[in-house]
A = this chain, B = another copy of it.
């Protein structure tokens, strides 16, 4: 089978055995924002055409390719959700030469009833379930960081933090950015930012402190970006862990960003484990197995016993 993690800025394809072992992989910067409407089948065929010619017939897609701006919009599946439920909710996309199935995004509601959504992260989380032992806390850092609670092998619920996109907007669109030099990551400044987030003051107050520290010469232009990054990530971690800093956070994502989160979690008194970068592939395989099982059971003649989907 073929699994494709197709996000906003890139596409990662995996050729796998049905058990999920990766045989081959391909990656291109053809994220959905780089693909013109109507061109999704061609982009997919360019990447996986050789594998199809070599006998593959099933393709599972996950990520923003299933959003309104993607190829086909797949509905959200509400939490709690497990691999069986996700596998039973795939959307079929017409495609010449293969069965193409699209993984649904997940939705949730926070304590106040505000909606939550993810697309793509659910597949990475499914791919980390074995490492988690069925329960735990998962963090997927990014523009919109996701923190998911896993209970009994299911994604029980999740919360999103706008930290990554807020960082970019504050850097690019405020006086804070005008005081920043382009500079490599500064561990000391990042640590200062994370530590500052523990002060108990509000983020909106502490953001002004980035300016005032620079104004008083207490934060250099080469340190400001790392300090701001630490401040925002620290706030996110405190909020996501609440008082429960004893829990182990399972980090999924690009190793550089996960490294920053691991550092910040430790500074906040917690601990973390980094999940390897093939979580998406494993999740696609696992959902794909369920989906095909479900497909086969769908095709049984009426009256025959239905195989359980989970």
**Restricting to A105-124, which residues have a CB under 8 Å from any CB of B?**
110-112, 114-117
Alpha-carbon distance between A114 and B206 when the two chains are bound, in angstroms: 9
Provide the residues of chain B in CB contact with A144, threshold 8 Å.
208, 211
Q: How many residues of A contact B (CB 8 A)?
A: 44
**A232-B203 in contact (CB<8A):** no
* Shortest beta-carbon distance from A103 to chain B in Å: 18
Partner of A235, one of B161, B163, B173, B204: B204
| Min C-beta distance of A115 to chain B, whole Å | 4
Contact A114 B212 (CB under 8 A): yes
> Does chain B have a CB within 8 A of A246?
no
In the complex, chain B residues whose CB is within 8 Å of the CB of A111: 199, 201
Rounded to whole angstroms, the CA-CA distance of A261 and B207 in the bound complex is: 20
- A172 proximity list for chain B (CB < 8 A): 169, 173
Residue of B nearest to A218 (CB): B115
- Whether B161 pairs with A112 at a CB distance below 8 angstroms is no
Contacts of A244 in B (CB 8 A): none
A162 at the interface (CB under 8 A from B): yes
Q: Which residues of B contact A117 (CB under 8 A)?
A: 212, 215
- A205 touches B (CB below 8 Å): yes
Contacts of A116 in B (CB 8 A): 208, 212
**Minimum distance in angstroms from A204 CB to a CB of chain B:** 4
Residues of B contacting A209 in the complex (Cβ-Cβ under 8 angstroms): 110, 114-115
A166 within 8 A of B: yes
The reply to whether B160 and A205 form a contact with Cβ atoms under 8 Å apart is yes
Q: Is the CB of B207 within 8 A of A162?
A: yes
CB-contacts of A203-228 with B (<8 A): 203-209, 211-213, 215-216, 218
Q: A239 near B165 (CB under 8 angstroms)? A: no
Per-residue contact bits, chain A 232-266, to B (CB 8 Å; 1 contact, 0 not): 10011011000000000000000000000000000
Let me know if B175 and A205 touch, CB within 8 A: no
B205:A162 contact, CB within 8 angstroms = yes
* B203:A110 contact, CB within 8 angstroms: no
* Whole-angstrom CA separation of A278 from B161 in the bound complex: 42
Most chain B CB within 10 A, of A115, A168, A238, is at: A115
If A115-B213, A169-B173 are given as contacts, then 19 extra A-B residue pairs at C-beta distance below 8 Å, sorted by A number, are A110-B201, A111-B199, A111-B201, A114-B209, A114-B213, A115-B218, A144-B208, A160-B208, A161-B202, A161-B208, A163-B204, A165-B174, A169-B169, A169-B174, A173-B173, A202-B235, A202-B238, A204-B232, A205-B239
The 10 closest A-B pairs by CB, nearest first: A202-B239, A169-B173, A162-B207, A114-B209, A173-B173, A160-B208, A115-B212, A161-B204, A169-B169, A162-B208
